[in-house]
Each structure stands twice: as C-alpha cells, then as structure tokens.
Structure 1
C-alpha cells in the first residue's frame, strides 16, 4: 500500500495536534508537528535578530527567511519516513503556501513522491470556539492573535488552500469532544 502524506492544516487552536496525534496512534503513522520540530531553532534565530522568540505573526524576518527553513526541515523529515513506506501526518498551518497552486506537484517532483498518496485534512472550528480554546491554552505565541482578533480572523478567512491535484477533506472540529469515528468516515484509508 502507498504511504499517505496527510497535510493537516487549520488555524492555531483548531485541534490539529489532537487530531494528528489520534490519527498517528490509531494507524501507526509518523506524526510531525512543525512547532515541535522547529520551535527551538526558530526561537534562537528570532532572538539572534533582536526579536522575541515568539514573534512570528507580522514579522518580516520570520515570513521572509525563517518560515521556509521550518517547512523545508519538516518536509525533509517527512520525506525520509515516506521513502521508508511510512505514512506521515504533517501538523502545520501551511498558510504561507496556500496560494501556490502547484505546491503539491512541486513537492512530488522534488521528493519523488510518485508512490505517495497526499491529501489535505483541513480542520476548522467556529471562531467563538477558537478564541475560547486559544485563551484557555494560554500560549504566548497566541497572544498576538488574541490581541488582534479581528485581523487574525480576517487573515484566516482570506486564505484558502488552492493546491491542485490533491484531495481536500474538510472537518469541523467545533464540538467540545473530538470523535475519531466521525473523522474516520471521511478518510480514504479507513474504509
């Protein structure tokens, strides 16, 4: 069976990590969270340039220099697992790449993913629920989003994944409790 590359996308606080970890556990997939893979070196790079280690939103140094390094690192690790035949859950927003229609085609060519089945699992939640979840988790990296809520929401609403040649599965994670069985009905491998 071909390994799957699951691009798990959605806003911070949408429940991507909970869903990604459950999928990885249930199906024995590799789980890669961009923040866990990159946060230490990203924080150090930002501090070296005089920024807070959490200052990403609205930071041109992050968006123009650091972000690509984060995603390249994440994708290299994913590719190693996919080449071994192991499916991978990529837990990262990928927002900065949504407008690149040929993004998946480029990754397939770059990494030789002809034997890989990629798909997008887009997690979304009601914005009131999202704000409550972000406030409850109390992460410093969410503070800008909460302080600039309307701008943050408008940013989410304006960015749609435009990738071609890939199935996009949408999942509403607004309910208080995550139900794996509800998600499994949508997945191509759980048939």
Structure 2
C-alpha cells in the first residue's frame, strides 16, 4: 500500500491486484482510500473477483507459493473467515472467477476494463 499511496499522491493511475479481503470488509477503508485518491485527481474503482472455496483451493494449490502453506495446511480454519457469496460493500464491479463460469475470466476482465476506460 505504501507504493500505491506514493503513486496516488503523485497523481499516477495504478492497478492494485491483491485480495484486500480484510480491507474491503472494514467499514470506511474504501471511502478513505477513495477520498485520498480523489484529492489527487485519481479515480478508484473496486472490482470483486468472485470465487468459491473449491476454485480458491485449486488456484492456491497450483500456485504453490510459500505464503500459502499455512492456508493449505489449515484450509477449514482459513476459509471459515471468508465471505465468498456477497461482494464487500462499495464494490463497483464483479468478475466471476468460479470454476465453470459462463464467461471466461479473460473476457470478463477485458469487458470490465473496456467499461472503465470508456
């Protein structure tokens, strides 16, 4: 976030790709970020990538990153805190990343970015 804030404060547009699970579910976090960005002429759009537990497990397992070892070893505990059904408050767009989604992730992403750039 320090890099994001540095770019926002410089008026530079950025894309933040991270779960932001806790942040987006913390009341006031997105409005504070949006206010800070708007003060510098930067727009904020929150996109929720909707996933389900099975899809998340498959992705994390295939990714095989060291940071995920605890999650995989404690899967039930980790996922018990996640809301995979409802987008967090104040989210602007949703992309369906569940296994078997009707439209590919790439096509949904292109369409969302097209809308944002219009």
In the other structure, the counterpart of 1:169 is: 93
**2:62 counterpart SS class:** helix
In the other structure, the counterpart of 1:140 is: 66
Report how many residues are paired.
112
- Point out which structure has higher relative CO (alpha carbons under 8 A, 6+ apart): 1
Structure 1: runs of 5 or more not aligned: 1-73
Change (3 A) 1:84 1:91: same
In the other structure, the counterpart of 2:13 is: 87
**Partners of 1:120 and 1:185 in 2: CA distance:** 15
Change (3 A) 1:148 1:157: same
**2:44 counterpart SS class:** strand
Please point out which of 70, 76, 81 is paired with 1:150: 76
Give the superposed CA RMSD: 2.9
Tell me if structure 1 keeps the 8 A contact 2:7–2:14: yes
In the other structure, the counterpart of 2:38 is: 113
Structure 2: runs of 5 or more not aligned: none
Render the CA deviation track for 1:132-175: whole Å, top value 9, x for unaligned. Answer: 22112222221221122222222112785234xxx421111235
Instruction: Tell me which protein shows more strand as a share of its residues.
Output: 1
Change (3 A) 1:100 1:136: closer
**Partners of 1:102 and 1:154 in 2: CA distance:** 23
Cα drift, residue 185 of structure 1: 2.0
Q: Which has the larger radius of gyration?
A: 1
Deviating 4+ runs (over 3 angstroms): 82-85, 174-178
